[in-house]
Amino acid sequence: MDTGASNCIFHASMGEAIGIDIDSGEEDQTVGVSGKPTTVYLHNISLHVPGGHVFKIRASFSYDLPIAGILGRNGFLEHFKVLFDPSGNPAGFEIERFYVV
């Protein structure tokens, strides 16, 4: 999770593993913490979250992402309250689904 990330972004290999033709997506540019523009490819996917939650989102995929993925505000954090607890060993977190009425 990254509260500073506008959207969910995943490494292209994650998308390829589930059968997405990454390069066929809408090409876009994003700028992350490095400050350098990064090419991403946008695809409509279903994001499955433990607890039986499924969300239709527009996700970005990039060959340049140095990690497996980032859950951002749009598509993930807009649906959950997240509590980080750094006091444990290891530190933990809880997520709670909230519903907009």
pLDDT band, residue 88 (cuts 50/70/90): confident
Domain assignment of residue 40, given as a range:
9-97
Does residue 41 carry a pLDDT above 90?
A: yes
Residue 39 belongs to a domain? yes
Give yes or no for a cis peptide into 90 (omega within 30° of 0).
yes
Residue 3 belongs to a domain? no
Gyration radius of the chain over CA positions? 15
Residue 2 belongs to a domain? no
Total of domains in the chain: 1
Contact indicator for 57, 43 with CB cutoff of 8 Å: no
Residue 34 belongs to a domain? yes
Residue 4 belongs to a domain? no
* Dist. CA 64–CA 61, nearest whole Å: 9
State the pLDDT at residue 101: 67
